[in-house]
Each structure stands twice: as structure tokens, then as C-alpha cells.
Structure 1
Amino acid sequence: MHRLLVALNCGMLILGTTGGPLLSRLYFSKGGHRQWLAAWLETGGWPLLLIPVVASYLTRRSRDPSAPLLLTRPRWILLAAAALGVATGADDFLYAYGLSYVPVSTSAILISTQLAFTVLFAFLIVRQRLTAFSLNAVALITIGAVVLGLHASSDRPAGVTKGQYWMGFFLSLGAAALYGLVLPLVELTYKRAASGGRVLTYALVVEMQLVMGFFATAFCTVGMIVNNDFQAIAREGRAFELGEARYYTVLVWSSIFWQFFFLGAVGVIFCVHTLLTGILIAAFIPVTEMLGVLLLHEKFSSDKGVALVLSLWGLASYSYGEYADARAKKKKAALWEAQAS
């Protein structure tokens, strides 16, 4: 069951990492102009989580009629999830605003720096152990991002001023830093929730993500109201280059893919740890680059090919390190069992 959960959440994270940014950039490149709306879509799919949460709740109630939602015991978990949700909503806006002025390739480059922030904050907040393999993976993926960064200044989209481009550049970098902080804080919440003999379950993880998504969406809803985005949706849909029907299709699928991303991210943290989440996000950024070339007709350079190789090499290094560590622990456990007998 643990391996199934790891595979499921890694798959959702990979789908969200590649599909979410592409659909968000497609929205902006074909006539969308509402940053708050794009940010809202990143967590607006949170009602989808009501299905597994309600199913889990009804299952518990069938065994214990007085069983409450897991988040209400203790109450601080609910408050922590709400605070993390507001931080996620702020990160959504930074990311969406940055993506509105830079191509998805440049945005992906900048978001890859989130790995460095994740490693730093994971070490400081949850004391994540760093091995030679994980450090090697971080180094390789970071070098890949630097290689990609060499061509970042030459891909300013048409109609975007130099000032807007650099605003998007730094906002994307800020989004990477903020999410690099949110991920270890999520893991810290899990650790505190599991203290005192409490069993941390995947059901609690999904409930936490639902609450985080709700508050992140509420944060962005306030921005949409202030910016009059709700009134502009119908008008923007009629003017969308791909047609009104495809406009709403892009919005719906964008919210679904981003929900995959966020649920996959917290699920990987629950099943493994924060660092693997950062590794996967960074490792599949070159895949987003290639999809941007194929689907959005962005330029493909030798820099992107080199970055792809380095990122896959980094992921392979990390995977081998985890395999070697698990094998060593298994041998050690077998040795202790043999000595005990």
C-alpha cells in the first residue's frame, strides 16, 4: 500500500508539474490577462477532494458514529492548514503574475530554483538529512537550471515591455522561494501531528490539502473581487483566440492539473519527505520545456537538451541514493534480527 501511495502521488505531482504551467501559459498567450483568475485556478479545484474526504469520513462514521473529521483533533492542525493555505494563495498569485509576462520556459527555469530553497528550509526546519547522492542531485539540477538561464534574456514575449519582463522574472523567483518554504512547513505540521502517539494517516493529509486549497482559493477570490475579474470572464472568453468553448476548457483543465500538483506534492511529503518533492518538481521542468516547444511552439535550444540530461541524471542519482539507503537499512535490520535470534 505504501508503494502504491508513493507511485500515485509521484504520478499526480508529475502530471501537475508539467500540465499546470502549460495550461496557465496557454491562457495568457491566447488572450487571457487576469492574473488573479490564473492564481485562483491553481487551487480552485479543491472541491474535487471532497469526494475522498467524504468517503473516508463516512467509512469512519460507519465504525464509530461519533467520529469527527480528523482535522478537528486537535484544533491547531486546522489552523495550521488554514495558514499554509493563505501562504499558498500568495504563492499562486506571485507565480501567475510572473507567468503572465515570461514564457513557460523561463518561468520553469526560475521555478527550478525552488529546489535550492526547499533544501535550505528543509534542513533548517525539519532537519532533513542530506546525503552525497541528494547533494549531487541538487547540484546537477541546479547546473541544468543555470544552463537554461543563459538564454533567458532573449525570449521576451511579443507585446511585453522590458520592465514587465523583469517584473515577471523576479516575481517567479519569489514564488519559488515562498513555495520552497511552504513545503518544509507542511512536513513540520505532519511531524507535529504525529507526535504524542497520534497516527498520521493519508486521510488526514487529504483533509489538510482540502483546507489549504479552500483558504488559498478564498485569498485569490478576494483579489478577483477587487480586480473585477468575475465580471471580465465572459468578455475575455468571447475574445479568446482559440474560441469561447476552448477558453472554458482551458480554465477547467488548468484547475484539475494544478490540483494534481498540490495533492501530489503533499502526498509525496507524507510518503517520503520534502526533498523528494523538490527533486521531482525540478527534474521534470525540462519536460515542461519540451512540451512548451511542441505545444506552444517555443524555441528549443541545445541549452534545453543539456539541462534535460543533467536533470534526469540528478533524478537518477537521487533514486540510486534512496535505493542504496533502503538496502543498507534492510541489511542492518536483518543483522539485528539474526543477532537477536
Structure 2
Amino acid sequence: MLGRLYFNKGGNSKWMATLVQCAGFPIMFPFIFLFTPSKTQQEHHPQVAGKPSWTTVVILYTTLGIFLAADCMLYTFGLNFLPVSTYSLICASQLAFNAFFSYFLNAQKFTPFIANSLVLLTFSSTLLVFQSDSEQTDKISRSKYVIGFVCTVAASAGYGLMLSITQLAFQKILKSTSYIVVFDMTLYQNVVASVVILMGLFASGEWKDINGEMRGYESGTASYIANLVGTAVAWQVFTVGYVGLIFEVSSLFSNVISTLGIPITPILALVFFDEKMNGVKVMSMLLAIWGFVSYIYHHYLDDLKEKENARLVNLDCEVNLMETSRVSQ
């Protein structure tokens, strides 16, 4: 919503809109100091064997950072050329891409409920291709709409791949049991991404227009700065959240939770941006919600199964203890 507001009120720099998605990393520093284990904690909780070398870690964070910069730019093009409600619904396809990559990279098992969820979310996004030309406003040509659609789908695919790679990095490379690794992952890849985007900002020459863009912003200079700062902070909070869920559970679960905003964003866009909610968008939103519920139900069944298995294991332990006790008597 803040990203769309930036363009609606007179923001034009795609590099600046991309930069704020990564440049909020300084707010990570207090958390890194807070979660860094003390020497006493390190003695009681030694690092897992096979700690990666600095070279491996640098290559990992640099690769993820460059990947993040490219993905953020694709998202920016999509947000600039599409209504925010359409954009958010297309972003639901990232769950399908993430499941596909998780199958190959993270040994994710597929169940009928997951398959159903992926099919529905794929149809939900594809359905938006068939919107009538009347949906396009005078400010958005058909060619820009297509570019925005393609960029958003590509960004969603890249995001899904990045989540799977992040999970793989936690499991196979970093192998840390400390939550500090979540803030390290968030910080370093955003630092690299910010450097790459800044290079693009200066190389493109858009930095020369930032001052004029700020003065010409419809809501004023203060609103312009507040929008960029708010966007930067919101993106960092989101990043820590999804990386933390990958660390604790899985990339696919993290992605499912992030899709909770799907039914909210189109409604907010209707209220604040006066966007149209036609039948195609409503159908797309319903399919996306159905796909999300299907996946959540899958996790509910898995949770019940795990609890039942744990109960059986405890019961077996109790029986074995009783038998051992009888034998000793």
C-alpha cells in the first residue's frame, strides 16, 4: 500500500522505490547485539560441527543479496504498472513457485491438500490475465499492464526460489541453532542488495531527480520522507518475520503465512485508492483464499498426526518402563 501510494502521489524513481525495500537494515543492529550469545552461552551451547568458512558465508550472502536486488526491482515494476489489488493477487502465485522449488531443494512432500492449494493459487493469478480492457485506467496502457504482470509473476517465482534457497542455507550451510543467524541473514543480504541498487540509482542518473521529486510530491516533503521511511521499516519487519519462520519451520510455511494479506490488500485498495473490484478480481481472491485454507488444513492434519505419534511413543515408553520394573522385581 505504501509503495502504491509513493507512485500515486508523484514518486517516479523506480530505483528509489526498490531501494527502500532493502535500505531499512540499520534497524537490525540493536537486535543483533541483543541476540548475540555471550561467552558463557557459547560455552554451554557450542556451535554445530562443520561451521562454514568465511568465504562460503560471504558468497552465500552476496548471492542472496544480488538475487534480492533483482527481485525487488521486478516487484517495483509490477507495483508501478498494476493496480495494487491486482498486484497483490498475482503475488499469491509465489506460494505455488515456492512449493515447486521446495520439492526439489527442501524435500517437501506433496499431499492432496497441498496440490489443491497450488492449483487454486495458480488459477487465481492466471485468471487476472483475462481482465477486460475497461479495468485498465487511462494511466495504465495495455502494454504496461502486460509488463507489470510478467514482472510480478517473475518476481513471485524468484521470491519462491529465494525462500527455498534460504531454508537450504540454514540446513546445509549455516547449521546454527542460535536465532542470531536470522538477523545475520536479514542484515547482510539487505546490505548487499542496497549497495547493488544504489549503484543502479547513480548509474541511471535518477539520483539527480530525487530532490525535485521530493519537492513536487503531492502530500509534501514530510509525507514523502515518511512514506519512504515507513516502507523501509515495514519491509524489514516483514523480512525478519519470513526469515524467522523459515528458520523455525520451513520456507513453504513462511510463504503461506505471508499470503494472509491477500484478502486484505484488495479491500484496502478499494477503500483508499478507489480501485475497482470487478468479478474477475473477486473470483481470483476467493480462489486464493480457498487455496490458503486448503494448505492450512493440511498443516492442521499434520499437527494432529504428530500429536498422535507423540502420544503413541509416550505410551510405548510407559509400557516398556512397566515391563522393566516387573522384570527387576
Q: Same fold by TM-score, threshold 0.5 exceeded?
A: yes
In the TM superposition, what whole-angstrom CA distance separates every residue of 1:56-115 from its partner, at most 9, and x where no partner exists?
22x5257569x9x99x85322342122111100111111112322222123223322222
Find the partner of 1:136 among 106, 113, 116.
Answer: 116
Equivalence for 1:33: 12
Equivalence for 1:257: 234
Q: Which structure carries more relative contact order (alpha carbon 8 Å, separation 6+)?
A: 1
Instruction: Report the CA distance between 1:225 and its aligned residue.
Output: 1.0
SS of the residue aligned with 2:125? helix
Are the structure 2 counterparts of residues 79 and 128 from structure 1 closer, same or farther at C-alpha, using a change threshold of 3 Å? same
Larger Rg: 2
Partners of 1:64 and 1:307 in 2: CA distance: 50
Partners of 1:153 and 1:273 in 2: CA distance: 40
- Which has the larger displacement, 268-277 or 44-53? 268-277
Partners of 2:161 and 2:282 in 1: CA distance: 29
Find the partner of 1:100 among 66, 80, 86.
Answer: 80
Indicate whether 1:185 and 2:165 are aligned: yes
Are the structure 2 counterparts of residues 262 and 199 from structure 1 closer, same or farther at C-alpha, using a change threshold of 3 Å? closer
Equivalence for 2:38: 60
Indicate whether 1:209 and 2:194 are aligned: no
Are the structure 2 counterparts of residues 315 and 164 from structure 1 closer, same or farther at C-alpha, using a change threshold of 3 Å? closer
Partners of 1:308 and 1:156 in 2: CA distance: 18
Are the structure 2 counterparts of residues 321 and 169 from structure 1 closer, same or farther at C-alpha, using a change threshold of 3 Å? closer
Instruction: Report the CA distance between 1:251 and its aligned residue.
Output: 0.8
Partners of 2:242 and 2:38 in 1: CA distance: 25
Instruction: Report the CA distance between 1:147 and its aligned residue.
Output: 3.9
Q: Normalising to structure 1: TM-score of the pair?
A: 0.84
Are the structure 2 counterparts of residues 152 and 212 from structure 1 closer, same or farther at C-alpha, using a change threshold of 3 Å? farther
Partners of 1:237 and 1:157 in 2: CA distance: 25
Partners of 1:174 and 1:331 in 2: CA distance: 41
**1:237–1:243: 8 Å Cα contact kept in structure 2?**
yes
Indicate whether 1:302 and 2:302 are aligned: no
Are the structure 2 counterparts of residues 158 and 259 from structure 1 closer, same or farther at C-alpha, using a change threshold of 3 Å? farther
**1:46–1:214: 8 Å Cα contact kept in structure 2?**
yes
Q: CA RMSD in A?
A: 2.6
Indicate whether 1:312 and 2:289 are aligned: yes
Partners of 1:337 and 1:43 in 2: CA distance: 47
Instruction: Report the CA distance between 1:306 and its aligned residue.
Output: 3.2
Equivalence for 2:94: 114
Equivalence for 1:229: 206
Equivalence for 2:323: none
1:273-312 superposed matches below 5 A: 273-312=250-289
**1:112–1:281: 8 Å Cα contact kept in structure 2?**
no
Equivalence for 2:27: 48
Instruction: Report the CA distance between 1:148 and its aligned residue.
Output: 4.1
Gaps (5+ residues) in structure 1? 1-21
Structure 1 residue ranges (4+ consecutive) displaced by more than 6 angstroms after TM superposition: none
Find the partner of 2:2 among 23, 30, 52.
Answer: 23
Equivalence for 1:272: 249
Instruction: Report the CA distance between 1:244 and its aligned residue.
Output: 1.8
Gaps (5+ residues) in structure 2? 321-329
Partners of 1:328 and 1:161 in 2: CA distance: 51
Are the structure 2 counterparts of residues 79 and 280 from structure 1 closer, same or farther at C-alpha, using a change threshold of 3 Å? same
Find the partner of 1:176 among 156, 174, 189.
Answer: 156
In the TM superposition, what whole-angstrom CA distance separates every residue of 1:256-308 from its partner, at most 9, and x where no partner exists?
11112222221121122111233233443232111111111111123333333
In the TM superposition, what whole-angstrom CA distance separates every residue of 1:298-333 from its partner, at most 9, and x where no partner exists?
111233333333333332222222122122122112
Equivalence for 1:74: 53
Partners of 1:244 and 1:185 in 2: CA distance: 39
Partners of 1:335 and 1:135 in 2: CA distance: 29
Are the structure 2 counterparts of residues 111 and 281 from structure 1 closer, same or farther at C-alpha, using a change threshold of 3 Å? same
Partners of 2:148 and 2:125 in 1: CA distance: 17
Q: Normalising to structure 2: TM-score of the pair?
A: 0.86
Partners of 1:265 and 1:176 in 2: CA distance: 15
Partners of 2:253 and 2:286 in 1: CA distance: 19
